[in-house]
Amino acid sequence: MEKQAIILAGGLGTRLRSAVPDLPKCMAPVAGKPFLYHVIRYLQEEGVDSFIFSLGYMHEVIEAFLLQNYPLLDYQISIEEEPLGTGGAIKLAMSKSTQKNILALNGDTMFRIDTDKLLSFHNQHNAACTLALKPMHNFDRYGVVDINKEGYVQSFKEKQFYTSGLINGGIYAIHTADFMNLDLPAKFSFEKDYLEKYFNSQKMLGLVQDEYFIDIVIPEDLQKANVEFENQPT
């Protein structure tokens, strides 16, 4: 069965602009390659064989990279003519999919989960959306997701300092029809206007996977990624 993924790669990357002033943030160099290269490679290792790249800011740079480096890759391009927010970007990209369920993830984050486990859990529960959750300790950059023992989302908590908690790792399994049939605007936040608004009425679950996680939205984590990825085979 085809495994398809939407990669969100259209953000402005304002917090990373000082370190990478002339590139989309997913194209920031990490261990000699654009970060997007590492994301694609991980997904291919996970058996993803079809991609939809959701692009916006400096989309020509990413399109040129894909054309030059992935001539045989099965992919489509979805371009935001204006910023649509994470939800609007997913909705626009998902309109190109024919899959019952699709993975969606951020092009500036690496969370090395087992996607088969995520999709199996998602299908087993006939979920509308299943979030990959990462256990974290002593943090203040992320909000917290509470789930019950069956995995159903109970609440989303705001960013503040937590000694421990489960964070939204930014990888989702989404039932396409359930999502597309909602009365959602063209421009909206996936996190605020979908997850936080609909978790009580849509079947929304979280699956904990304590795997490697990093996002490169700030220069310090870009530098950290360069060090950690340097030791990985390319």
Summarised one tens digit per residue, pLDDT across range 40-64 is 999 999 999 999 999 998 999 999 9
> What is the pTM (predicted TM-score) of this model?
0.94
Determine the distance from the C-alpha atom of residue 190 to the mean position of all C-alpha atoms in its chain, rounded to a whole number.
11
Between residues 15 and 108, which one has the greater pLDDT?
108
Per-residue CA distances from 17 to 25, 30, 131, 230 (Å): 8, 15, 29, 22
- Answer left, alpha or beta for residue 165, where phi above 0 means left and psi between -120 and 50 means alpha: left
Q: Given the DSSP bridges, would you call strands 101-106 and 4-9 parallel, antiparallel or unpaired?
A: parallel
Residues 123 and 105: beta-carbon distance below 8 Å: no
Q: What is the mean pLDDT of residues 98-120?
A: 97
Residues 171 and 116: beta-carbon distance below 8 Å: no
Residue 12: pLDDT band by 50, 70, 90 thresholds? low
pLDDT of residue 130: 98
Q: Mind listing the pLDDT tens digit for each residue in 65-77?
A: 999 999 999 999 9
Residue 13: pLDDT band by 50, 70, 90 thresholds? low
Closest CA to 103 of 1, 218, 210, 234: 1
What percentage of the chain has pLDDT greater than the value 90? 82
Distance, in Å, from the CA atom of 23 to the CA atom of 31, rounded to the nearest integer, reads 16
pLDDT of residue 1: 66
What percentage of the chain has pLDDT greater than the value 70? 94
Residue 117: pLDDT band by 50, 70, 90 thresholds? very high
Q: What's the whole-number average pLDDT of the chain?
A: 93
Q: What is the mean pLDDT of residues 141-149?
A: 97
Domains of the chain and CATH, by start: 4-229 (3.90.550.10)
pLDDT of residue 231: 73
Q: What is the mean pLDDT of residues 189-207?
A: 97
